[in-house]
Each structure stands twice: as structure tokens, then as C-alpha cells.
Amino acid sequence: MQLERRRVDRERRQSRRICAVFAVKNTIGSRIQLGQAEDIAPTGMTLRRPKDVPVLPLTPLDLRFALPGVRETIAVSALVVSDCRSGPFRRTGIRFTFIAPEHAALIARYCSR
């Protein structure tokens, strides 16, 4: 019997994500898309995007968003961890790779509520 070595997304996560819905502007190369966050943690988020543009894992992207109740726009660099079709959308798992310390603090405070 061979053990399954892969782990599901939730098991790989280093921190617990909280449900949150807000607009996210994502830029991949020169292409700009508007998506919607489903959840967020200090280390990443799940993004709901239009279904017509799949993205490969490890694709770099830049995100801009404002958390609910927070006026400041947060900018992060990230990598795609997973991307799959989910009904009329795509669900894209994202890991933050660079975030300014003040923006990291905003996300951490938001997630600790």
C-alpha cells in the first residue's frame, strides 16, 4: 500500500484563513483583472476570478485591495499556489511573497478580529 504524499490545500497552510469578501485588483504581466477575495490570512488568500483565464501554479502576480472597514489600499506581490474551475468562476489560491510591514500589520489585525 502506498501512502498519499500530497496534502490538501488546507493542510499546507501555515496560518488559519478567515472568511472575507472584498474586491481585489490583480495584475498578471500586463493583464489586469478584478476578482473577489473569499478568505484571507497573513500569508495568503483565496481569490474568485473570471473562469475564462486559467493561471498556472507559481505564476507571479500583484494584488491591490482594501480590507472591509480599512481605508488604506494594500499592495502585495504573490504567487499562485492553485487554480481550478468552480462553477462559473475560478478559485485561485495565492501565497503572499512580498508585503510592506505596515500592510502585513493591517492584515494581521484584520485576521485577529
Q: What residue segments make up the domains of the chain, in order of their start?
A: 14-112
pLDDT tens string 8-44: 444 454 567 899 999 999 998 888 999 999 999 999 9
Give the pTM: 0.83
**Hey, how many other C-beta atoms are within 10 angstroms of the C-beta on 97?**
13
**Per-residue pLDDT tens digits for 63-98:** 999 999 999 999 999 999 999 999 999 999 999 999
Dig out the grid coordinates for 19 from the structure.
Answer: 472568511
User: Of 33, 19, 38, 23, which Cα lies nearest the Cα of 113?
Assistant: 19
Please, which residues have CB within 8 angstroms of residue 103's CB and are 6 or more apart in sequence?
72, 74, 75, 76
Q: Return the CATH number of 14-112, one of 2.40.10.220, 1.10.540.10, 3.40.50.300, 1.20.1200.10.
A: 2.40.10.220
Rounded to the nearest integer, the mean pLDDT of the chain is: 88
* Beta strands 60-65; 18-28: pairing state: antiparallel
